[in-house]
Amino acid sequence: MKQYQILSNGKKLPLIGFGTWHLTGNEGTEVIKNAIKMGFRVIDTAQAYENETEVGKAINECIKEGIVKREELFISSKINPHFPIGYDEAIKAVESTLKKMQLDYIDLYMIHWPNMVEDDSWKKLNADTWRGFEKMVEKGKLRQIGVSNFMIHHLEELLKTAKIKPVINQLNLNPTWQQKEVVAFCQHQGIVLQAWAPLIRVRKWNEKILTDVASKYDKSIQQICLRWSIQKGFLPLTKTHSIDRMRENLKIFDFEIQPKDMELLDNLNSHPWNHDSQPDCLYEIFKLREMISQKYTFSSGYFKFLGIKFLKVFPYPKGIKVKLLGIPFLKIKKSGKSKYKLYLFNFIKISSLHVSYKFSFTKQLPTYEEGAHV
């Protein structure tokens, strides 16, 4: 059964990869080494993960010990979305990654997020960053370049100036989050899709379907999700500390989900949220930032645990207030252009913030009333 995807430039890419988010320190290095020993050949990291050194150490130790050859690995990283980006910044980012990872080249380097800001400057930022990536391809420091979390309008703008088309777009993709329109756009453009969140949580509303399908094939729910991803044309990135789970995640090439069962899994996309009602937008975790950048706000947001709303966030005319178990805990107050002050218990000043975008709270705006998933 096919275990490789051919990229637009002819490079073979294994269908399943290993993600390294939150894998840091010596323990992180050992986990990554175990993943390579178990057979993972796609290793994905990012500057924002703050573990490129550990990832590089694991890779070089495995090479030194004769476990794997460098050319057998496909190593990817991403420019830090929290720092300024542009042509010079892109070149510095690649050089920094190579130095930290102690590698001569990176197989894939990506723009981590499309750098959404409150005006159209993201278009030039992405274009200039891409030019920097293309320069590093010319120098042989990068083999392929791609993007992560790019929606259709981001890709359309980038393709207007790009000399090298992105080979990959990493997206949050799983049976409950299918992003159908941007997926179709990428497939039409020949851009391969990697799924950075291929597994889904078992809930009351999806438990029976997932359990029934898994039982039918004598596989785990995790294996069913990964197999679904591959059959949809998405390359899943898995992450686990467990060697047994690594072994399990790799055992997805000895069966195929039948069309009727694929349809059952496809239908999970519409419940409990219709994720494709606004497919050309960013995801839950960036929803608030997007609303702020478009001068929207929310009426309230909360974290709920054991049925209790223990942390509530709500706006007031000059900023944001936070209540912990109903008690005023934190206040973020605007004190100037792009400048905010933090107050503990609403009156003890603890810090000041400088941000690159403005909060603009207005009246009669759409309500954001979703409990956070933690």
Question: Cα separations (Å) of 342 from 149, 223, 324, 331, 335?
Answer: 31, 45, 15, 6, 10
Q: Calculate helix-pair angle for 207-217, 259-266, nearest 10 degrees.
A: 160
Catalytic option among 4, 49, 296, 343 = 49
Torsion of CA 174, 180, 186, 189, to 10 degrees: 150
Amino acid at the residue 39: G
Question: Cα separations (Å) of 271 from 178, 195, 203, 274, 275?
Answer: 12, 20, 11, 6, 9
Q: Calculate helix-pair angle for 25-38, 243-250, nearest 10 degrees.
A: 40
Is residue 297 a contact partner of residue 365, using CB atoms and an 8 Å limit? yes
Is residue 59 a contact partner of residue 20, using CB atoms and an 8 Å limit? no
Q: Which of 195, 178, 142, 133 is nearest to 275 (CA)?
A: 178
Alpha-carbon gap, residue 151 to 172, rounded angstroms: 11
Structure tokens at 198: 């291929």
Alpha-carbon gap, residue 244 to 249, rounded angstroms: 9
217 catalytic per annotation: no
Alpha-carbon gap, residue 37 to 39, rounded angstroms: 5
Buried b (16+ CB within 10 A) or exposed e, 273-283: eebbeebeebe
Alpha-carbon gap, residue 164 to 162, rounded angstroms: 5
Is residue 169 a contact partner of residue 150, using CB atoms and an 8 Å limit? yes
CA atoms within 13 A on the CB side of 274: 3
Catalytic center residues: 49
